[in-house]
Amino acid sequence: MTEAEFPHMSDGPIRRIGVLSMHTSPLDQPGAGDSGGLNVYVRELAASMAAKGTECDVYVRRTSPDVPEIVELEVGVNVIQIEAGPYGLEKGDLPAVVDLWTQGVAGYLESRPVDAFHAHYWLSGVAGHHLKHEFDL
């Protein structure tokens, strides 16, 4: 790799990563509803990065009004719930709100920028691709 191929990588260390996980949240109890291995993976990945000094903002789609908008999962890991469509959407209906969710994430990034993105599942990948270009990452 050369600096010309990846100019954004020469800006210094990655201090904060935006973890995009539209369809599953590390706050969800494994085995409840549709949650399972991926939410555990996202939680452990973010916790491991934070333990090594890289803060993680995990962006998820808000599925209930009962959980605060921002939850500190542990030191260095925040789960940010983005309003996008009605509560109770099935996973198969999420593509219809991915653009709305992406706009919500972009709103947070204006005031709390990240150095890189890590996306899970294709819905988050669609959002990550758009955000990468919008924020020149």
Reported as a single tens digit per residue, the pLDDT across 86-114 is 998 888 999 999 999 999 999 999 999 99
The 10 Å Cβ neighbour count of residue 116 is 16
- pLDDT score for 12: 75
The 10 Å Cβ neighbour count of residue 48 is 12
Q: Which domains does the chain have, with CATH numbers?
A: 15-134 (3.40.50.2000)
Rounded to two decimals, the pTM is 0.87
pLDDT-derived band at 2 (thresholds 50, 70, 90) equals very low
> Mean pLDDT of all residues in the chain?
88
Q: Crossing angle of helices 98-111/121-134, nearest 10°? A: 50
- pLDDT score for 1: 42
Helices first, then strands: H and E counts in the chain: 3, 5
The stretch 53-70 carries a mean pLDDT of 94
pLDDT-derived band at 45 (thresholds 50, 70, 90) equals very high
Decide: 123 and 38 in contact? Cβ < 8 Å: no
Burial class of residue 128, CB neighbours in 10 A (0-12, 13-18, 19+):
buried
**Which H or E element spans position 116?**
strand 116-119
pLDDT-derived band at 126 (thresholds 50, 70, 90) equals very high
